[in-house]
Amino acid sequence: MLMKRELSLMRNIGILAATGLVVGILSTWASGTPQSEKLPDGRGGEFDVTRHNIPLDQIRGGGPPKDGIPSLTNPQFVSAQQGDKFLMSWDRVLGVEYNGVAKAYPIKILNWHEVVNDSIGDKPIAVSW
């Protein structure tokens, strides 16, 4: 029987996986490669998704510079009981399970680091948020 927290974790993983898929699709769509697509309302015709109203030389980057968000490497883990001291019941985690080993990466930490370089057994993994 799955406990309430495990069910919540599984729901959150499903939501995160779907979010990652949408982000992947959007990043591909916005990659700058000229494309034509059917109109979303089903009407015939096509439109160029690379058109823009703002001159490209007026678009400025924002946020941290390249490599400005440090990844986590070989993170330290705590037990579920210890995690209950700093995670609230509504906090989301990104979970990974492989060969019977499960790990949870709190979103409140991933928001600051975005990438975790870790391993499960002798298998290296990269967790990306």
**CB neighbours (10 Å) of residue 105?**
20
pTM: 0.52
**For the chain, what are the domain ranges?**
1-59, 69-129
- Going across the sheet that includes 123-128, the strands are 72-73, 115-120, 123-128
d(CA 87, CA 9): 12
The tens place of each residue's pLDDT in the chain, 129 residues long, gives: 445 555 454 554 444 444 443 344 444 444 444 444 455 566 555 656 677 788 888 888 888 888 888 889 989 999 989 988 989 989 999 999 999 999 999 999 999 888 999 999 899 999 998
Max CA pair span of the chain: 58
